[in-house]
Structure 1
Amino acid sequence: MNANRAAAPAQQTKRVGGLDGVRALCALGVAAVHTSFAAGVMGAYTARPGNQALADLLAGLRPLALGPFFVLSGMLLYRPFARWTLGGGERPKVVPFLAKRLARLWPAYILLSLVCVFLLNFDAVDGVWYVLRPILMLQVYDYTWIAGMDPAWTVPAEMQYYLALPLLAVLMHWLARGTADPVRKVRRMMVPLALITVGSAVWTYYIHRPSMGIYPTKYWWPLGVGGAFALGMAMALLHVLAELRPERKPALYRIAASHPLLFWVGALAVYAFNCTQPFGRPGYGDYEGVGLALTQYGLLLVFSYLTVMPLSIPGTKSRVVDAIVANPVSRYLGRISYGIYLWHFAIMYFWFKTGSVFGTQPGLMNQLRGTIGFPELMTAVLVGSILAATASHYLVERPLVKAVGRWAARKDGATRTAATAQDAYTVAGPR
Structure 2
Amino acid sequence: MDNNVAPAPSWGRRLAGIEGLRAAAALSVLAYHVGLMASDEVHAGPVGQVILPVLGQGLPLFFVLSGFLLFRPFASSLLRGSELPSFRRYARNRVLRIYPAYLLIFCVASLAMGCVYLVGSTHGFGPENVGRLTDPAKFVANALLVHMFIPQFVMSGLPVAWSLTAEITFYVAVPVMALLAAGLIRRGMPKATALAVPAAALIVIGLGVSFWGHLVADNLGYAQLIDFAFGQTWTAVLLRSFLGQADLFGYGMAAALIVVLLNERGVRRVGIPAKLFLVAGAAASLVAGAGGTMPFLSNFAGVASALLLLAVVLPSSRNDGPNRLAAVLEWSPIRFVGLISYSIYLWHLPIIFWLMRRQLTVGSSALALPFNVVLVLGIVLPLSAVTYFAVERPAMRLKKRPAKRSDPAIEDRVPSAS
TM-score when scaled to structure 1?
Answer: 0.75
Tell me if the contact between 1:261 and 1:318 (Cα under 8 Å) persists in the aligned partners. no
Q: Distance in 1 between matches of 2:265 and 2:154?
A: 50
Question: 5 Å matches for 1:202-221?
Answer: 202-208=208-214, 209-210=216-217, 211=220, 213-214=225-226, 215-216=229-230, 217-218=236-237, 219-221=239-241
Question: 5 Å matches for 1:245-260?
Answer: 245-246=265-266, 254=270, 259-260=274-275
| 2:280 maps to 1:265 | yes
Q: Distance in 1 between matches of 2:47 and 2:133?
A: 41
1:271-314 Cα offsets, whole Å, 9 max, x none, are: 334443x25xxxxxxxxxxxx43x32441232112210121224
| 2:205 maps to 1:199 | yes
CA RMSD of aligned residues (A): 3.3
Tell me if the contact between 2:145 and 2:161 (Cα under 8 Å) persists in the aligned partners. no
1:188-239 Cα offsets, whole Å, 9 max, x none, are: 3312321221111111123332256222432322212111112222222222
CA drift at 1:75: 1.4
CA drift at 1:71: 1.6
| Equivalent of residue 338 in structure 1, options 335, 342, 354 | 342
Q: Distance in 1 between matches of 2:306 and 2:10?
A: 25
For residue 303 of structure 2, what is the aligned residue in structure 1?
Answer: 302
Tell me if the contact between 2:270 and 2:315 (Cα under 8 Å) persists in the aligned partners. no
Question: 5 Å matches for 1:2-401?
Answer: 15-40=14-39, 43-44=42-43, 48-49=44-45, 52-53=46-47, 56-62=50-56, 64-118=57-111, 119-120=113-114, 125-142=133-150, 143-144=152-153, 149-179=158-188, 184-208=190-214, 209-210=216-217, 211=220, 213-214=225-226, 215-216=229-230, 217-218=236-237, 219-246=239-266, 254=270, 259-276=274-291, 278-279=292-293, 292-293=294-295, 295-315=296-316, 318-319=323-324, 321-322=325-326, 324-353=328-357, 373-401=368-396
Gapped runs of 5+ residues in structure 1? 1-7, 280-291, 359-367, 417-431
- Is the alpha carbon distance of 1:13 and 1:153 closer, same or farther for their aligned partners in structure 2, counting shifts above 3 Å? farther
Tell me if the contact between 1:71 and 1:231 (Cα under 8 Å) persists in the aligned partners. yes
Secondary structure at the aligned position of 1:270 is classed as: helix
CA drift at 1:387: 1.4
Percent identity between the two aligned chains: 26
- Is the alpha carbon distance of 1:108 and 1:126 closer, same or farther for their aligned partners in structure 2, counting shifts above 3 Å? closer
- Is the alpha carbon distance of 1:231 and 1:114 closer, same or farther for their aligned partners in structure 2, counting shifts above 3 Å? same
Match for 2:391: what amino acid? Answer: V
For residue 425 of structure 1, what is the aligned residue in structure 2?
Answer: none
Q: Distance in 1 between matches of 2:386 and 2:172?
A: 28
Secondary structure at the aligned position of 2:17 is classed as: helix
Match for 1:135: what amino acid? Answer: A
Secondary structure at the aligned position of 2:83 is classed as: coil
- Is the alpha carbon distance of 1:55 and 1:245 closer, same or farther for their aligned partners in structure 2, counting shifts above 3 Å? same
Q: Distance in 1 between matches of 2:27 and 2:47?
A: 19
Q: Distance in 1 between matches of 2:366 and 2:204?
A: 42
- Is the alpha carbon distance of 1:60 and 1:42 closer, same or farther for their aligned partners in structure 2, counting shifts above 3 Å? farther
1:235-264 Cα offsets, whole Å, 9 max, x none, are: 2222222122237x9xxx946x65424422
Q: Distance in 1 between matches of 2:394 and 2:199?
A: 35
TM-score when scaled to structure 2?
Answer: 0.77
Q: Distance in 1 between matches of 2:138 and 2:188?
A: 52
Greater helix fraction, Structure 1 or Structure 2: 1
CA drift at 1:318: 4.7
